[in-house]
Amino acid sequence: MTNSINDYTPLEQHLLNDFQRDMSLSATPYADMAKQLNVSEEEVLQSIQSLQDRGVISRVGPVFRPNRIGVSTLAAMAVAEQDLECVARIVSAFPEVNHNYEREHEYNLWFVVTASSEEHLDIVLHEIEQHAEYPLMSLPMLEDYFIDLGFTLKTSAQK
Task: Please classify residue 68 by burial: count the beta carbons closer than 10 Å to its beta carbon, then call 0-12 exposed, 13-18 middle and 19+ buried.
Answer: exposed
Domain residues of the chain, as ranges?
Answer: 5-62, 71-139
Instruction: Give pTM, 2 decimals.
Output: 0.58
* Alpha-helical runs (H) found in the chain: 10-18, 29-37, 41-53, 84-92, 118-132
The confidence score (pLDDT) of residue 58 equals: 73
Identify the CATH number of the domain defined by range 5-62.
1.10.10
In order along its 159 residues, the chain shows pLDDT tens digits of 456 666 889 999 999 888 887 777 889 999 999 999 999 999 999 999 999 888 788 777 766 666 667 888 999 999 999 999 999 999 999 999 988 899 999 999 999 999 999 999 999 999 999 999 999 999 987 776 666 666 677 655 554
What are all long-range contacts of 53-61, with beta carbons under 8 Å and residues at least 24 apart?
56/3, 56/8, 56/12, 56/16, 57/16, 58/99, 59/99, 60/19
Yes or no: domain 71-139 corresponds to CATH 3.30.70.3460: yes
